[in-house]
Amino acid sequence: MEEMLRVGVITTTHGVRGEVKVYPTTDDAGRFLELTDIWLDTGKERIPLKIQNVKFFKNMVILKFEGYDDINAVQTWRQKDLFITRDQAVDLEEDEYFIGDLIGLAVEDEEGNPLGVLKDVLETGANDVYLVSRPGDKDLMLPAIKDCIREVDLEAGVMRVRVLPGLLDL
């Protein structure tokens, strides 16, 4: 499991006083109000930042960081990811998982036959859909519902599923 969890992506600067617009990759953008520390992944290193101010505009979060007071200081941060440490993460309910922990799990059917590897989670309005990469075949799309997802074992790196009738034909 990753020690850091991605909570947003800086899309662009906002104004000239060092603020940035962030597309939140967390289910609850209001989480940013509770955060004081965050990490910027520059591609070469992760830089710790202190959040000075949080605002919201449409589906975006506008962040101001301590010590970065003009547009030039944050201009190069476009398309860079923001992370928090796992201990800053929200508590999950039973059968809830962080997407980053699910990606890469081996997916097998209830009899233990390998189906592929979970490569993405599509967030839809009703329920998430797990995208399973299958060698030599088209991707399998599994709804993230109890009838389909039977067990998730993060320690073993395995997800056991029931493939509902018709899903292999999609």
110/119 Cα distance (integer angstroms): 19
The verdict on 82 and 146 lying in the same domain is no
20-32: average pLDDT = 92
Are residues 78 and 125 both part of a single domain?
A: no
Task: Give the pLDDT band (50/70/90) at residue 7.
Answer: very high
What does each C-alpha distance from 33 to 28, 54, 55, 100, 154 come to in angstroms?
10, 6, 9, 22, 30
Q: What is the CATH number of the domain that holds 37?
A: 2.40.30.60
Q: What is the mean pLDDT of residues 118-137?
A: 90
In this predicted structure, the answer to whether residue 52 has a pLDDT above a threshold of 90 is yes
CATH number of the domain encompassing residue 118: 2.30.30.240
pLDDT class for 2, splitting at 50, 70, 90?
Answer: low
Strand duo 106-109 + 158-161: pairing: parallel
Q: Which band of pLDDT confidence, cut at 50, 70 and 90, is reported for residue 123? A: confident
Does any domain span residue 169? no
Structural domain that includes position 119: 99-163
Torsion of CA 161, 100, 23, 28, to 10 degrees: 70
* 24 and 72 belong to one structural domain: yes
Q: Indicate whether 55 and 31 sit together in one domain.
A: yes
20 in the same domain as 45 = yes
Structure tokens at 161: 């599923």
Tens of pLDDT, residue by residue over 138-159, are 999 999 999 999 999 999 999 9
Per the structure, how many domains does the chain have?
2
Q: Per-residue confidence at 64, pLDDT binned at 50, 70, 90? A: very high
Q: Residue 62: left (phi > 0), alpha (psi -120 to 50), or beta?
A: beta
Q: Using one digit for the tens of pLDDT, what is the confidence trace for 83-102?
A: 999 888 888 888 889 888 99
Is residue 1 pLDDT above 70, yes or no? no
Is 92 inside a domain boundary? no
pLDDT for 90 equals 83
